Amino acid sequence: MRLVVTGAAGMLGQRVVAVARDLGHAVTGSDIDDLDLTDAAAVRERLRVEAPEAVINCAAFTDVDGAEGNEELATRINGEAAGNVARAAAELGAFVVQLSTDYVFAGDATQPYTETDAPDPRSAYGRSKLAGERAVAASGAEHAITRTAWLYGAGGKNFVDTMLGLAQTRDEVSVVADQRGCPTWTGHLAPALLEVAERRASGVHHLVSRGECSWYELTVEVFHQAGVSCRVLPTTTEHFPRPAPRPAYSVLSAARDDAVLLPPWQEGVAAHLNERVPA
């Protein structure tokens, strides 16, 4: 499959490119240094030259707190640029896989959100990502909206590595225990995204590791698997005020009959730790 991956320099994009090449696909990666996705004409020309059969759009404005003070920029990148990619792909008959997020939901549910639940974002970041979903859906391209959450992996700043770094200099860390979600390792998400592209499985997908936990429980598991002696103390969201509201409950569930299922989140932790310190 001829494939274009945007946002290829990011934590997820790097992994998607690497896995795609391992699977034998002809992959072209692009990022802001060689293609500005907010430039519709440039996007059309680049995709015309590459002639992909599928495009996986990993490019995004990911600064959740920064989006609160600059929602216009976040929406231009997460919303308008996504539409530019999808419209250009539509002209070529290329399938589009658009990355989205648990932040498109309110985060006040009591049971997992499925693909058919109505979005209701409470943050600028969430609104910008929902704008991207809608732009892609309106583009005319055959597409999949793939929502994920709590990403971590090699090649980018992430919660798991941050906690492991803190454990090197502290005897204890305080971690919020009143936010629940689905920690998802990029090494499990990347092949799932490629499977969606290969199958041209259109519609909305929830691609997260199976199971759920709090940030506190995730940290306890990470330290346990890593053999770290740092103590983990539970705390609440109100003790860590941030510009953007964090969803209290943003667990995603895959209810599609043809859902691509990822392994349990604990397996992702183990795989990530194994990569950080090869056996």
Q: Using an 8 Å Cβ cutoff, are 211 and 261 in contact?
A: no
What is the arithmetic mean of pLDDT over 181-204? 98
| Average confidence score pLDDT of the chain | 96
Averaged pLDDT, 206-226: 98
Residue 203 Cα distances to 66, 256, 265, angstroms: 29, 10, 24
Question: What pLDDT, on the 0 to 100 scale, is given for residue 239?
Answer: 87
In a 10 Å sphere around its CB, with 0-12 CB exposed, 13-18 middle and 19+ buried, how is residue 208 labelled? buried
**125 belongs to the catalytic site:** yes
Phi/psi of residue 246, nearest 5 degrees: -100, 135
Q: Residue 278: what pLDDT?
A: 59
What residues form DSSP beta bridges with 143?
Answer: 96
Query: Alpha-carbon distance 5 to 97, whole Å?
Result: 10
CA distance 28 to 24: 12
Structure tokens at 213: 């936990």
pTM: 0.96
* pLDDT per residue as tens digits for the range 141-179: 999 999 999 999 999 999 999 999 999 999 999 999 999
Q: How far apart are CA 44 and CA 191, in angstroms?
A: 26
For residues 237 and 256, give the distance between their C-alpha atoms in angstroms, rounded to a whole number: 32
Query: Which of the following is catalytic: 125, 152, 216, 249?
Result: 125
Q: Residue 111: pLDDT band by 50, 70, 90 thresholds?
A: very high
Instruction: Compute the Cα dihedral for 119, 123, 129, 130 and give only its sign.
Output: positive
Q: Which domains does the chain have, with CATH numbers?
A: 2-158+183-211+253-263 (3.40.50.720)
What's the sign of the alpha-carbon dihedral 78, 266, 255, 141?
positive
Per DSSP, 104 falls in state G
Which run of H or of E encompasses 28? strand 26-30
Token digits for 160? 């798991």
Residue 69: what pLDDT? 95
The percent of residues in the chain predicted with pLDDT above 70, rounded, is: 99
Q: How confident is the model at residue 279 (pLDDT cuts 50, 70, 90)?
A: very low
